């Protein structure tokens, strides 16, 4: 395992369309992260199999699962096939599976680290069966800054090798501890040195410790070169519909304009002041507003060279 990152993110290609193309297609599609409905799911008011239908009712074209809501079903071929059928019936795409509670991929104990890698295998297989492009994992470890990088990179590389068999990516979210440092995580992904190892930048998960908050805009910027997905975390909104913790205009400009990302942007409402449904709708509305602004900006930029050329005739 070398120290060189081996691949560019397949969903972060530079925009190469025309102004006409911009008008026909949205800059990026929207998916619904299942955690947005975690209260309803934990309360058994919503069943995992009905998640695709619920997402479609909100107007989403993609779904992002959380393994905790069907943890005993990953190896159940009939269950996974039924979930896939529900998606097909609703016309929504399975995007990824967020995996938690399967052990630390950077565990200092080699045996425990290997077990954590093995524990994720079933989710790689389920992701393949559903038509997802990735599983989202955590880069948990212990030790010094450098030790945690080496250990996490080792576990990630080994899991990516298993992902090779199924054409499934392994993407890491900034999700607490050193993983919430954009610098640490981007360096770790490079060290993992595998084409399937990528990132899932989360707008709201940059708290490294109780005393340290990493700059979310810098962190997102550092992780975007590796991004296979983007998680638009939201909590609270002001009277104008703006998220009060994250400037979505600034953040999505980094994602879309600076890094040319065109993959799914996942809505993940985690607030408590609004109901889950209202929070999802508020987040979606804000993203759509910013998406329109960015599309207009790109369209204007695309017209400038044509206008200059015409003027020079």
pTM above 0.85, yes or no: yes
The predicted pLDDT at position 14 comes to: 35
pLDDT reported for residue 23: 45
The three-state secondary structure class of 257 is helix
The full set of domain ranges for the chain reads 19-311
Q: Is the pLDDT of residue 251 over 90?
A: yes
Q: Give me the numbers of helices (H) and strands (E) for the chain, helices first please.
A: 11, 8
Q: Are 156 and 188 in contact (CB under 8 A)?
A: yes
Residue pLDDT, tens place only, 115-137: 999 999 999 999 999 999 999 99
Contact 34, 259 (CB under 8 A): no
What is the spatial distance between Cα 109 and Cα 131, in angstroms, rounded to a whole number? 33
Tell the residue number behind the tokens 């911009």, with chain if given. 22
pLDDT (tens digit, 9 = 90+) per residue, 194-229? 999 999 999 999 999 999 999 999 999 999 999 999
Rounded to an integer, the average pLDDT of 50-66 is 98
Element (H, E) at 265: strand 265-269
Find out whether 167 and 135 touch, Cβ atoms under 8 Å.
no
Q: What is the pLDDT of residue 121?
A: 98
Angle subtended at Cα 162 by Cα 108 and Cα 221, rounded to the nearest 5 degrees: 70
* CATH class of the domain comprising 19-311: alpha beta
d(CA 19, CA 281): 29
Taking only the tens place, the pLDDT of each residue in 4-21 is 444 444 444 433 333 334
Q: How confident is the model over 35-63, as a mean pLDDT?
A: 98
Give the mean pLDDT of the chain.
92
**Which of 5-9, 49-53, 83-87, 308-312 comes out lowest in average pLDDT?**
5-9
Find where tokens 């993407």 sit. Answer: 171
Looking at residue 306, its pLDDT comes to 60
Q: How far apart are CA 92 and CA 31, in angstroms?
A: 9
| Res 309: pLDDT | 59
Q: Say how far apart CA 133 and CA 144 lie, in whole Å.
A: 32
Grade residue 308 by pLDDT with cuts at 50, 70 and 90. Answer: low
Higher pLDDT, 310 or 267: 267
């Amino acid at each position: 395992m070398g120290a060189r990152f081996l691949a560019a993110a397949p969903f972060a290609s530079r925009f190469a369309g025309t102004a006409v193309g911009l008008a026909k297609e949205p800059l990026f599609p929207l998916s619904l992260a299942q955690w947005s409905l975690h209260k309803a799911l934990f309360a058994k008011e919503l069943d995992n199999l009905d998640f695709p239908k619920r997402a479609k009712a909100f107007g989403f074209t993609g779904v992002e699962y959380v393994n905790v809501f069907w943890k005993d079903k990953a190896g159940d071929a009939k269950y996974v096939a039924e979930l896939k059928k529900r998606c097909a019936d609703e016309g929504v795409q399975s995007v990824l599976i967020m995996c938690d509670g399967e052990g630390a991929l950077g565990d200092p104990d080699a045996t425990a680290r290997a077990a954590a890698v093995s524990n994720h295998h079933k989710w790689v297989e389920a992701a393949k069966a559903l038509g997802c492009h990735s599983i989202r994992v955590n880069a948990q470890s212990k030790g010094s800054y450098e030790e945690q990088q080496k250990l996490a990179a080792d576990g990630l590389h080994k899991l990516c090798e298993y992902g090779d068999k199924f054409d499934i990516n392994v993407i890491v979210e900034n999700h607490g501890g050193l993983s919430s440092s954009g610098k640490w995580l981007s360096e770790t992904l490079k060290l993992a040195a595998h084409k399937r190892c990528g990132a899932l930048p989360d707008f709201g998960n940059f708290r490294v410790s109780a005393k340290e908050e990493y700059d979310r805009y810098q962190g997102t910027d550092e992780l975007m070169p590796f991004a296979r997905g983007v998680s638009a975390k939201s909590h609270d909104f002001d009277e104008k519909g703006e998220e009060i913790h994250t400037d979505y205009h600034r953040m999505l400009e980094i994602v879309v304009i600076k890094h040319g990302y065109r993959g799914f942007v996942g809505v993940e409402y985690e607030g408590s002041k609004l109901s889950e449904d209202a929070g999802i709708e508020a987040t979606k509305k804000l993203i759509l507003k910013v998406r329109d602004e960015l599309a207009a900006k790109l369209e204007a930029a695309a017209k400038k060279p044509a206008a200059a050329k015409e003027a020079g005739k």
